[in-house]
Amino acid sequence: MISPHVSKSGVAYPGDLALLKRIYDEVCEERGLVPGSPEASDLAIEAMKLFSAGIFDEDAISRRLRKR
């Protein structure tokens, strides 16, 4: 989960980026996606969109990415 000191403005700080990368890596591995491939890039974009939309909870982001 993201630290409480992080603003809810949608700005991604280093800890937030690490969380998003961890989720990205897990979903890529589950799907057999090669990082940097068009499909993996779409996944990264979707993760950032969710975060920018105010979804900061690791479980929520993870669930949404796995559903797409």
Residue 5 lies in a domain: no
pTM above 0.85, yes or no: no
Q: How many domains does the chain have?
A: 1
Residue 28 lies in a domain: yes
Choose between 19 and 10: higher pLDDT.
Answer: 19
Q: Taking all residues of the chain, what is their mean pLDDT, rounded to a whole number?
A: 87
Range of the domain at 49: 14-67
Q: What span, in angstroms and rounded, lies between the C-alpha atoms of 63 and 52?
A: 16
Q: What span, in angstroms and rounded, lies between the C-alpha atoms of 28 and 43?
A: 8
Q: Is the pLDDT of residue 5 over 50?
A: no
Q: What span, in angstroms and rounded, lies between the C-alpha atoms of 24 and 36?
A: 11
Residue 51 lies in a domain: yes
Question: Which whole number is the average pLDDT over 29-54?
Answer: 95
Q: What span, in angstroms and rounded, lies between the C-alpha atoms of 51 and 44?
A: 11
